Structure formats: C-alpha cells, structure tokens
Amino acid sequence: MGQTNLEGLGAVQETLIIPLAMRALDLKSKRPILGDKRAAELYEEITYNQQKFSPKKSPSYYGCLKRASYMDEELTRHAQELQALGRPFVTVNAGCGLDTRGERIAGATYGAVHYDVDFPNVIELRQRLLGEHATAIGSDLLEEGWLQRIASEITAETHVLITIEGVFAYLTLDQIQLLLEHISQYFAGRCVVIFDALSSFWARRSKMHDTLKNMEATFVGGIDSEEDIRRLLPSAQFERKTSVVDLMAEVWWVAHLMQLTRKMRESTQIFTFRL
C-alpha cells in the first residue's frame, strides 16, 4: 500500500475503491477478465478502511469487470462506426473515479480526445496519482459546467460518446432525468450515452449488496427498462441493452443459476441510447 488515503472523499466518492480493487484482484488471476495493469498499480498507491470493503471474488467482482469490458467494447464500436463515416468524435468517461478507460480504449479510438469527469476532489486525486491531464474536468455531473467545457472545445459537428458507469444507482430518477436533459441540450443529434442501471427492486436493498453493505453510500434510483428512460427523456432513442448477469455467465458458472430468476438476471442492465 502507498501514500494516499481515500478517507474523507465523501460517501459516494469513496465507492470508487470498489471497481479499482476488483480490477487489481483481477490482474492477479490466472485468467484476467479485464487485465487492467494500470488499475493494479493505482491500487498499490492508496490506502482506505478495509473494514468497509475488501475485494474478493463475489458477484460484484465479476459484475464490475464484465461491465467495464462491455462498456469499453460498446464505446469503441461506436468510435469505429464514426471513424468509418469520417465523422469527428470525442469520448467521455462521466463519473470516472480512478477508472483508466481512456488508456484502455486509446488504441481503438483513432487518437480521439478523451475526457474524464468527476467531482472536483476526485479529479484532484486522479491528478495526484495519474499526473496532470488537460482533459480532466472536476464537476458535479448534475451541473452544466463539464458540458459547457466540452462543448466549447469541440466543433458543432463533433460527436460525443459518453459512458456513465456505476453512477445512476446513486441518483434519484429526477436527477437522472436532469442529467440526460442537460446532455441532450448540449449534444442532441450527435451523442451516444452508454450507462448501467440497477433495477428498482435491488435499488431498495443497498444493505443486501455484497460490496456496499458496510459503506456509507446507498442506492437511491432504479431503472427497469428502456421505457423508464423514454419517460424521463422522450427524445432519447433506445439502441440496445444487455444484462450484466448474462455477461457474468461468460466467465462464472454461478451466473448461469442467477439467470434463472428474472429479478437476478435483470438486477443490473447496461443501456445504449442516442440523444
């Protein structure tokens, strides 16, 4: 363990340790799922209260890793489509925590500018651990500053590919609606948003969650289907969705049993929408 202590970041901000720790544990596996070497290095540079959370190969372990892998693939798929059409684009990791998505996808996004966005204190932590980065933006996602910044640095023809990973579960439906409305306001007709969402059933059961049960943050919002998003933003165009449990079943036999129950299979889904 290294020098930087994560205590005091804030209840939601401190949850960034969960995916980082899972990725570090993954790299030690005989068959890594994500194989994120930089995440493992970062994990060695921080300390935190392990009574709140200590990584192990739980359902969340497989879920975090397969979710990240799928969202990387979905982001690069859209990047490849835009590149083939000769259209400029940027990529955005909104609610980035200490995620190294920008590094993971760099080789597949044709040199496109990548933005990392999170609370100011999280971005300050990123800069301390990862070094200065001109496209890191410290902003509450519910405020418009980060969108204004990106809009000011790109042309009106530039497409915006946004991932929002592990965020919506901590937002109310009103907050999710506000966020999507803001994104649409700035980038309508040229934006793809890829996000994961916890079901309403599991959003009401934070203390049953295998990683969150000892932490201060709690789930507050749940999305059950694409129709929930259409009600929040009627102009949003649904493209596709996938169950995280289905992704987990590719690498973990227990997930096949989870697929048998609808509440488990649809506990977390990843949606792709065009705004």
pLDDT tens sequence across 92-115:
999 999 999 999 999 999 999 999
Inform me whether the pLDDT recorded for 242 exceeds 70: yes
Mean pLDDT of 49-60: 79
- In 3D space, the residue among 225, 224, 92 whose CA is nearest the CA of residue 154 turns out to be 92
- In 3D space, the residue among 208, 152, 19, 32 whose CA is nearest the CA of residue 95 turns out to be 19
Cα separation, 245 vs 62, whole angstroms? 9
The total of other beta-carbon atoms located within 10 Å of residue 235's CB is 13
Inform me whether the pLDDT recorded for 239 exceeds 70: yes
- In 3D space, the residue among 183, 187, 195, 236 whose CA is nearest the CA of residue 88 turns out to be 187
pLDDT band at 31 (very low <50, low <70, confident <90, very high): very high
> What pLDDT score was predicted for residue 216?
58
**Residue 232 within a domain:** yes
**Residue 15 within a domain:** no
Give the global pTM: 0.94
Q: Which residues sit opposite 247 in a β-bridge? A: none
pLDDT band at 87 (very low <50, low <70, confident <90, very high): very high
Cα separation, 35 vs 38, whole angstroms? 9
Mean pLDDT of 13-35: 90
Structural domains counted in the chain: 1
pLDDT band at 213 (very low <50, low <70, confident <90, very high): low
> What pLDDT score was predicted for residue 1?
42
Average pLDDT, the chain: 91
**Residue 262 within a domain:** yes
**Residue 12 within a domain:** no
Of 1-15, 187-201, 232-246, 250-264, the poorest mean pLDDT is in: 1-15
Instruction: Provide the sign of the torsion angle of the four alpha carbons 147, 149, 150, 153, taken in this order.
Output: positive
Q: Is 107 exposed, middle or buried (0-12, 13-18, 19+ CB in 10 A)?
A: exposed
81: number of CA atoms within 13 Å, CB side? Answer: 11
Cα separation, 243 vs 225, whole angstroms? 11
CATH number at residue 170: 3.40.50.150
Cα separation, 122 vs 128, whole angstroms? 10
> What pLDDT score was predicted for residue 207?
56
Cα separation, 118 vs 177, whole angstroms? 18
Of the chain, the percentage scoring pLDDT greater than 90 comes to 76
**Residue 92 within a domain:** yes
**Residue 164 within a domain:** yes
Cα 236 off chain centre by: 19
Mean pLDDT of 60-89: 97
φ/ψ (deg, to 5) at 139:
-165, 145
**Residue 233 within a domain:** yes
**Residue 57 within a domain:** no
pLDDT band at 8 (very low <50, low <70, confident <90, very high): confident
Show the domain range for 262.
71-274
